[in-house]
Chains A and B, each alone.
Chain A
């Protein structure tokens, strides 16, 4: 199939545009994805800012990475919903009966999901500056931090696509994403893990979001990322590859 390669790229691009358009037509989702994190940032800053001792950091500086991951998890549940809606309705049969690259639809959804998250993250960081975020990292630090975030977004997106394929209804697709809404709060995102109860602390220190949050925070504030960088990368790449493989397998089985 020599014509498959250019076909895949072109078809995926059209699907990407379609998925972006569909997402932009859902204003509640957009507003929620952007306002919730901003609200959380203000709320946490105001309520806990004075009582939580987070060492050398200001509290706003401290919570930005956690806020970002929370927002990504929330926004990406719409990816699971959109994938599921497509698979359950006649539209996927139309695409299947056309001479398209099979995986174009999935790639379009994943690409649109990553793009939306990049936009949301940019808005959050922009707002953070208004609230008093004072990063000290250099350009290289920011580039590495962005790379780690991008990989994490990819991992969460791949997981969401898999949830969308696995679930039988859009509601249960976003239900499968629920653990991801909780993980940021049981991590180093909003309080140092040392302050936590021993069992929760163990969990927080071993779940994937903690190293990602630590790396992003350290780099943005100009500290060395240390070992956390490799742990974060391993988690992000590992989850991406695994979720992607599972999603493709499930998709191909459905597509016959």
Chain B
């Protein structure tokens, strides 16, 4: 399959803060790409450059063959952006928000399209209420529905699950997977290794302005720190027994949970830094 996004040697600084020093990656058409990095790594900065909101200081990025810096209009026609913070009109209703985007994208049959989207995102009941009355999850869904109107070829999701409860997070994962099934290329950012591994076909880890590791989840696993494992038992007593008898007798194990390394552990392994326990949010 062909590449739809290519990024090479991208650089961006804010005064003396060199946020992106040398960032390169390519994304295949129709795949899910995850840019993984801790808070402040520069994920949003990268997304803003790719979605034509900000100019890089150096390097080059293209989407569908168009240069994001010089052919902004062509790029904007292909993409949609769901930023880290919901971009919705609070005083308007969900329906009105969708309607306006439909009109700006000049879609045919906007009314029925809007109803369709409201249904898909479970917002029918809240459709005619002002967005200011929505919960965080509903707002996020509306935000994404607005982005999906007009079927963009590439969709940027900047930390789509940050701040969502587990149930809404799972729903978001399903949504992302379904998008990719339909052929949309998904560019998402996340702070969670687990999320990237679960969703993405391709992961790039951004740390201190550079991509320090890149590849399929399977490939990354082989170079990541060793994972431990949790054994779950029905009761404390079982667990105690198990500790003593596990080697001799097979005691029933209720479940096996993988112990994901934290991002910090990943960084430490990948860049071989063993000192400095700088904490990330």
Q: Which residue of B lies closest to A86 (CB)?
A: B89
Known contacts A21-B92, A26-B91, A97-B76, A256 near B54 by CB under 8 Å: yes
Contact call B80/A97, Cβ cutoff below 8 A: yes
Q: How far is the CA of A94 from the CA of B100 in the complex (A)?
A: 12
Q: How far is the CA of A91 from the CA of B96 in the complex (A)?
A: 14
A11 at the interface (CB under 8 A from B): yes
Known contacts A22-B92, A25-B130, A91-B89, A98 near B83 by CB under 8 Å: no
Q: How far is the CA of A139 from the CA of B116 in the complex (A)?
A: 52
Report the minimal beta-carbon distance from B150 to chain A, rounded to whole angstroms: 9
Q: How far is the CA of A93 from the CA of B249 in the complex (A)?
A: 61
> Which B residues lie within 8 Å of A21 (CB)?
92, 96
A179 at the interface (CB under 8 A from B): no
Q: How far is the CA of A14 from the CA of B106 in the complex (A)?
A: 10
Q: How far is the CA of A146 from the CA of B100 in the complex (A)?
A: 32
Q: How far is the CA of A80 from the CA of B133 in the complex (A)?
A: 25
Interface residues of B (CB under 8 A from A): 48, 51-55, 73, 76-77, 79-81, 83, 85-89, 91-92, 96, 100-101, 103-106, 130, 146-147
> Which B residues lie within 8 Å of A93 (CB)?
48, 53, 81, 83, 87
Known contacts A93-B81, A256-B54, A98 near B105 by CB under 8 Å: yes
Contact of B100 among A10, A14, A89, A97 (CB under 8 A): A14
A96 at the interface (CB under 8 A from B): yes
Contact call A98/B88, Cβ cutoff below 8 A: no
Size class of the A contact interface (CB-based, 8 Å): 20 to 34
Contact call A98/B54, Cβ cutoff below 8 A: no
Q: How far is the CA of A220 from the CA of B106 in the complex (A)?
A: 45
> Which A residues lie within 8 Å of B101 (CB)?
94
Report the minimal beta-carbon distance from B195 to chain A, rounded to whole angstroms: 22
Known contacts A14-B104, A99-B76, A256-B55, A94 near B96 by CB under 8 Å: no
Report the minimal beta-carbon distance from A215 to chain B, rounded to whole angstroms: 37
A118 at the interface (CB under 8 A from B): no
Within 8 A of B (CB), among A56-95: 89-91, 93-95
- 10 tightest A-B contacts by CB? A90-B87, A94-B87, A97-B81, A99-B76, A25-B91, A97-B51, A99-B77, A14-B103, A90-B85, A91-B87
Q: How far is the CA of A22 from the CA of B131 in the complex (A)?
A: 12
Contact call B104/A100, Cβ cutoff below 8 A: yes
Contact of A97 among B52, B55, B85, B103 (CB under 8 A): B52
Contact call B51/A18, Cβ cutoff below 8 A: no
Contact of B83 among A17, A18, A94, A100 (CB under 8 A): A94
> Which A residues lie within 8 Å of B73 (CB)?
1, 99
Within 8 A of B (CB), among A13-53: 14, 17-18, 21-22, 25-26
Known contacts A97-B51, A256-B55, A18 near B105 by CB under 8 Å: no
Contact call A90/B86, Cβ cutoff below 8 A: yes
Given contacts A93-B81, A94-B83, 17 further A-B contacts (CB under 8 A): A17-B100, A18-B89, A22-B91, A25-B91, A25-B92, A26-B91, A93-B87, A94-B87, A96-B52, A97-B51, A97-B52, A97-B53, A97-B76, A98-B104, A98-B105, A99-B77, A256-B55
Q: Which residue of B lies closest to A255 (CB)?
A: B53
Report the minimal beta-carbon distance from A170 to chain B, rounded to whole angstroms: 13
Q: How far is the CA of A91 from the CA of B54 in the complex (A)?
A: 16
Q: Which residue of B lies closest to A23 (CB)?
A: B91
> Which B residues lie within 8 Å of A14 (CB)?
100, 103-104
Q: How far is the CA of A45 from the CA of B127 in the complex (A)?
A: 47
Q: How far is the CA of A122 from the CA of B53 in the complex (A)?
A: 41
Report the minimal beta-carbon distance from B115 to chain A, rounded to whole angstroms: 19
Q: How far is the CA of A95 from the CA of B76 in the complex (A)?
A: 10
